[in-house]
Amino acid sequence: MDRYTLAATCHFGLEAVLKREIFDLGYDITHVEDGRVEFAGDEEAVTRANFSLRTAERVLIKAAEFEAGSFDELFEGVKEVAWENFIPKNGRFWVSKASSVRSDLFAPSAIQSIVKKAMVDELSGVYGIKSFPEDGEEYPFRVFILKNKVTIGLDTTGVSPHKRGYRLMQGEAPIAENLAAALIMLTPWREGRILVDPFAGSGTIPIEAAMLAANIAPGMNRDFNAKRWDNIVSPRLWKDCEEEARELIKSGLDSDIQAYDIDGELLKVARENAARAGVDKYIHFQTRDVKDLSHAKKYGFIITNPPYGERLEEKKRLPELYRSFGTALKRLDSWSVYVISSYEDTEKYLGMRAAKKRKIYNGMIRTDYYQFPGPKPPKRLN
Ligand SMILES: C[S@@+](CC[C@H](N)C(=O)[O-])C[C@H]1O[C@@H](n2cnc3c(N)ncnc32)[C@H](O)[C@@H]1O
C-alpha cells in the first residue's frame, strides 16, 4: 500500500537521471521539480530508495503541503498535520533546514522556529503534555517554500547527505558521490567497457563506476536516520533490503577502469577509498600527468572532473592544463569524452566543440557537463 509520498532530492540538473532510477526501482513518479523527484511508496520504499538510489542526496517522507504567505498561515498549516504519525512522545524533532524561493516568508531561522512551535502545539494536544523530554530518536524535518507553497519533509536519510561511507579522506575539490554516479549514468558506459579518469583525485568517479558495474548498492556501508524509527519502518525491512542488495552484488567483473592523477599521494587515498567501497580490485591506479594520457585500445570512455580553478593561482594555469589535456585527447580520437567543469573556456582550450552540454549545479557552482561522444565501435563479428 502506498502510504506516503516520498521526495528524493538531487543536484539541480539531474532530475531526469534520478527519475529514471526511481522508475527502475518500480515506483510511480508523481511530481518533478528543480532538485526534487516525488514518488509514491510505502515503508519498504523508504528502505529501498535510501539503499539503492545512486543519484539522490536524501529521501524525505512528505509530511505536509499547504499555502502560506504569513507566519500565522504557516503556524496554522503546520498545526493541521497529525505529527504523532511521525514523532513519538519522546522523539527529538526540529527543522534542520528551511529554504524559500520567490515567497513572502523568507527568513530561514524564523520559519524553523514557527514550524517547531506549531508542531509542539499540535503534539501537546495529542500526547497531553506541555514539555517534551526529547530524549528519544531524532526526527529532523526540512521545509521548502516555493511561491508560498510550503512543503515539509521528514528526512529519512540523515546527516551525511550523499555520503556512501567509503570516502574518509579526500583531495581539495572532491566531487559528490551522487553527482559522480549521475555523470556516469548519463553516458553509455557500462561494465565491460573501458573507463579512464585522468584527474581522479580521491577516486570518486572510478569508484562509483566500479560500484555500478558490480551492482553494489550505494547505501551498503552507511547509516540512515530511518533505521532507528521502528514507529515508521520495521527493522526487518532494513535487514531484508540489505540481504537482497548483498545477493545482487556481481563478482568477477570484466572491468578496465583506470584512475590517473598527477598527485601520487592522493591516489593512495583513492585506493584506500576504493578498498573501503569493496572495489579496489577493479580499478588500476597510476600517477600520471594528463599530458602523458594514452591507451592501447581504440575505443573507450573518459569521464572526468579536471581542476576548475577555484583558487586564483590555479585558474592561471588552466589554459595550459586544458590545452595539454586536449592535445592528449587527439591520440584517443575515437574515444567518448565527458568532462564536468565550471571553467568557461573548457571547449576553447580543449580545442573541441561539445556535441551536448548539460547545466548542472554543484552546490552553488554552475558547471557544464561537456559531452563529446566518439564513433560507435564496429559490432564484433563472431
Ligand atoms: C577537481 S580535482 C578531481 C577530484 C576528484 N573527482 C575527486 O572526487 O576527488 C582535479 C584533480 O586533478 C589533478 N591534476 C591537476 N593537474 C593535473 C595534471 N597535469 N595531470 C593529472 N592530474 C592533474 C589534481 O591533483 C586533482 O586531484
Percent residues over pLDDT 90 in the chain: 86
Q: Would you say residue 12 lies in a domain? A: yes
pLDDT at 162: 54
CA distance 360 to 370: 11
Does ligand 1 have an atom closer than 6 angstroms to the CB of 87? no
Cα dihedral 55/61/64/70 (nearest 10): -50
Same domain? For 109 and 206 the reply is no
Map residue 303 onto helix, strand or coil: strand
Residue 382 has pLDDT above 60, yes or no: no
Mean pLDDT of 172-197: 93
Ligand 1 geometric centre to CA of 339 (Å): 12
CATH assignment of the domain containing 212: 3.40.50.150
- pLDDT tens-digit readout, 270-296: 999 999 999 999 999 999 999 999 999
173 within ligand 1 shell (Cβ under 6 A): yes
- Asked if 217 contacts 245 with a C-beta cutoff of 8 angstroms, the reply is yes
How far is it, in rounded angstroms, from Cα 35 to Cα 16?
10
Q: Whose CA is nearest to atom 8 of ligand 1?
A: 174
The verdict on pTM exceeding 0.75 is yes
**Predicted confidence (pLDDT) at residue 333 exceeds the cutoff of 70:** yes
Strand partners, 302: 196, 337
305 CB near ligand 1 (under 6 Å)? yes
Nearest CA to ligand 1 atom 12: 199
Is the domain of 138 the same as that of 183?
A: no
131 and 181 in a single domain? The answer is no
What does the buried/exposed string (b/e) look like for 107-116 if buried means 16 or more CB atoms within 10 Å of the residue's CB?
Answer: eeeebbebbe
Percentage of the chain lying above the pLDDT 70 cut:
96
Confirm or reject: Cβ of 49 under 6 Å from ligand 1.
Answer: no
Q: What residue type is assigned to position 73 of the chain?
A: E
Is any atom of ligand 1 closer than 6 Å to the C-beta of 202?
yes
In a shared domain, residues 19 and 124: yes
The range of the structural domain enclosing residue 151 comes to 4-155
28 and 70 share one domain: yes
Give the count of domains, the chain.
2
Q: Which residues pair with 94 in a beta bridge?
A: 140
Average pLDDT over residues 167-185: 86
Q: Determine the pLDDT at residue 217.
A: 96
